[in-house]
Amino acid sequence: MTITQLEYILAVEKHRNFVQAADSCCVTQPTLSMQIQKLEDELGIKVFDRSRQPVVTTQIGLEILQQARLTISEFYKIKDTVNAGKHEISGEIRLGIIPTLAPYLLPLFLMEYLKKYPSIELKIKELTTDRIIHGLKNDDLDLGLVATPLQQPNLVEHPIFYEELVLYVSKENAIYKKKYAISEDINPKELWLLEEGHCLRSQIENLCELKRKSIGRNQFEYQAGSLETLRKMVERNQGITILPELATMDFDEERLNLIRKFKSPAPKREISLVAHKNFAKSGILKTLKTSILEALPEQVRNNKDTNVLSL
């Protein structure tokens, strides 16, 4: 049994196809199939049912794959230990980040981080929280930048900062005349929301107790895919939305005039780096956390962990 064979069966599990798995491992399909066959012969079991398309993992194969993931993780810890001893920060990191954070946080630290650590290769995807959780559990991602707490078994959360949520209101909205607002001031019929699947939507629903309120039938319902769309809907079509603090950092004076804060203690979302419990590259995780903190605007960096919204 070899590490290479374990990597091959993990690739097949991921792609559910021997040809695609071989391509991802940069080997020919016969080579990959032969090595997996040798492994199955040695163990005396079948990891995959090849008679079905896409390929299906057998029941015993599921247990083998789970152990293979642990073995591979422990194997790469050897390299990480050596790199740590040499004070080297290097390697590939597959990072998932939620869309309500990516356009506002990545520009703050990304280029400086890559310049400081040229031996790190970052592969970043914008994904919803559910897809990031799935990717971390299935070894499609190494780290996630998400709103927490997730309370997911086998995932470890490393909180970085706390981002205040603010109201963005049209001049025709009653809240515009207020200096501070409370959640009870929000009329659900006037609230623009992200589409289902965004963690920020879930937090706003909890904040405003929308699921408990009967808001009746609206003539028009629209669920946006981005915060920029919500902002423009408020500016051009009245109403109100709720934005995270970083999304307002480059606002001009006219847009800043449409922001209203919640009465203290203001609601916040906790932003964390999340990894599988078997994640081995702790050095890279620490450098990312430090770089993000250093790049944050001071007012965000100094926010306290009070009134954190649940998901």
Tens digit of each residue's pLDDT (9 = 90 or more) over 31-56? 999 999 999 999 999 999 988 888 99
Diameter of the chain by CA atoms? 75
Question: What does the alpha-carbon distance between residue 151 and residue 169 come to, in Å, rounded to a whole number?
Answer: 33
CB 120 within 8 A of CB 91: yes
What the block records as the tokens of 221 is: 């319902």
Residue 224: pLDDT band with limits 50, 70, 90: confident
What the block records as the tokens of 86 is: 């040499």
pLDDT digits (tens, 9 = 90+) for 249-262: 999 999 999 999 99
CB 4 within 8 A of CB 36: no
pLDDT digits (tens, 9 = 90+) for 141-181: 999 999 999 989 989 999 999 999 999 999 999 999 999 99
CB atoms within 10 A of CB 171: 11
- Predicted confidence at residue 311, as pLDDT, reads 80
Q: Is the pLDDT of residue 213 over 90?
A: no
What the block records as the tokens of 245 is: 């603090």
- Predicted confidence at residue 272, as pLDDT, reads 97
Q: Tell me the pTM.
A: 0.78
What the block records as the tokens of 258 is: 């449409």
- Predicted confidence at residue 80, as pLDDT, reads 66
